[in-house]
């Protein structure tokens, strides 16, 4: 884990997220703790990750989501060289859809 994430405040935040029991609780918590713009940015990055996993081109992803190529590249780096957080979430979301 990145050492900047390994603080007591970050641990408390992660514990708070894990304590949420359903989508409604998540929405309520994130609406309180984040701005709408922050939430939209996170949702956009997740959608970019989905599309990258599907093999969609940067240009098409940018057109579909409005994400900049810098954002798409950042998400791509996380998918290829990150901590596999996107992979965990995307696999679980895909399993829920089936």
Give the CATH number of domain 36-98; options: 3.40.50.2300, 3.40.50.300, 1.20.1440.230, 1.10.1270.10.
1.10.1270.10
pLDDT value of residue 45: 98
pLDDT tens digits, 6-23: 899 999 999 999 999 999
Task: Give 8-74 as a DSSP string.
Answer: HHHHHHHHHHHH--SHHHHHHHHHHHS-HHHHHHHHHHHHHHHHHHTT--HHHHHHHH---HHHHHH
* pTM of the complete model: 0.90
| Domain coordinates in residue numbering, the chain | 1-33, 36-98
Q: Given a cut of 90, is residue 2 above it in pLDDT?
A: no
Q: Model confidence over 12-51: pLDDT tens digits? A: 999 999 999 999 999 999 999 999 999 999 999 999 999 9
* pLDDT score for 71: 98
């Amino acid at each position: 884990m990145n050492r900047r994430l390994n603080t007591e405040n970050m641990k408390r935040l992660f514990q708070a997220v894990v304590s949420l029991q359903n989508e409604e609780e998540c929405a309520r918590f994130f609406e309180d703790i984040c701005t709408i713009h922050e939430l939209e940015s996170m949702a956009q990055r997740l959608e970019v990750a989905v599309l990258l996993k599907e093999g969609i081109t940067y240009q098409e992803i940018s057109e579909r989501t409005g994400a900049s190529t810098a954002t798409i590249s950042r998400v791509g780096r996380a998918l290829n060289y990150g901590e596999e957080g996107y992979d965990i979430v995307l696999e679980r979301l895909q399993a829920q859809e089936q």
